[in-house]
Amino acid sequence: MTDQTISAGMQPASQSGTRMRKRSMIFMILGGVIVLVALVVGGWYLLVGRYYVSTDNAYVQATTAQITPRVDGTIASVPVRDTDHVKQGDVLATIDPADAQLAVQQAEANLRLAEQRVSQYYANVASAQAMVTQRQADVERANIDYKRRAALAATGAVSGDEMTVVNNARSTAQAALTQAQQQLAAQKALVSSGDAARNPDVLAAKVALDRAKLDLDRTIIRAPMDGVVAQNTAQVGQRVQAGAALMTVTPLALAYVNANFKESQLEGVHAGQEVTLISDLYGSGVVYHGRVVGLGGGTGAAFSLIPAQNATGNWIKVVQRLPVRIALDPKELADHPLRVGLSMTAKIRLSN
What is the residue type of 289? H
- Regarding predicted confidence, which is higher, 35 or 194? 35
Which residue spans within the chain are E strands per DSSP?
52-61, 65-67, 73-77, 85-86, 91-95, 220-222, 227-230, 239-240, 247-250, 256-262, 274-279, 287-295, 321-328, 343-349
The pLDDT score that the predictor gives to residue 158 is 64
Give the CA count within 13 Å in the CB-facing half-sphere of 257. 33
What is the residue type of 105? Q
Please give the average per-residue pLDDT across 257-271, as a whole number: 91
pLDDT at 7 over 80: no
Give pLDDT tens digits for 68-84.
999 999 999 999 999 99
The pLDDT score that the predictor gives to residue 172 is 83
**HEC per residue, 86-134:** ECCCCEEEEECCHHHHHHHHHHHHHHHHHHHHHHHHHHHHHHHHHHHHH
- The answer to whether 161 and 113 have CB atoms below 8 angstroms apart is no
Distance CA 309, CA 102 (A): 58
| Residues 6 or more apart in contact with residue 275 via CB below 8 angstroms | 259, 289, 290, 291, 292, 326, 346, 347, 348, 349
Please give the average per-residue pLDDT across 199-212, as a whole number: 90
Give pLDDT tens digits for 30-86.
878 887 787 777 765 665 556 788 899 999 999 889 999 999 999 999 999 999 999
Identify the H or E element spanning 308: none
Candidates 330, 323, 274; CA nearest to 299 is 323
pLDDT at 1 over 50: no
Task: Report domain extents, the chain.
Answer: 50-63+252-349, 65-97+218-250, 99-215
CA distances from 40 to 26, 27, 51 (A): 21, 19, 16
The pLDDT score that the predictor gives to residue 209 is 95
Q: Does domain 65-97+218-250 have CATH number 1.10.10.10?
A: no
The pLDDT score that the predictor gives to residue 297 is 87
Give pLDDT tens digits for 219-236.
999 999 999 999 999 999
CA distances from 321 to 55, 58, 326, 351 (A): 11, 11, 15, 22
pTM of the model: 0.67
pLDDT at 329 over 50: yes
Q: What is the mean pLDDT of the chain?
A: 84
Confidence band (pLDDT; 50, 70, 90) for 256? very high
DSSP assigned state of 198: G
| Residues 6 or more apart in contact with residue 167 via CB below 8 angstroms | 146
Give pLDDT tens digits for 109-167.
999 998 888 777 777 777 777 778 887 887 788 787 777 767 666 666 666 667 677 77
65-97+218-250 and 50-63+252-349 share a CATH fold: no
The pLDDT score that the predictor gives to residue 153 is 66
pLDDT at 6 over 60: no
What's the full length of the chain, in residues? 352
What SS3 state is found at 191? Answer: coil
How many whole angstroms from its chain centre is CA 67?
Answer: 12
Topology adopted by domain 50-63+252-349 = Elongation Factor Tu (Ef-tu); domain 3 (2.40.30)
Distance CA 98, CA 219 (A): 10
Distance CA 168, CA 173 (A): 9
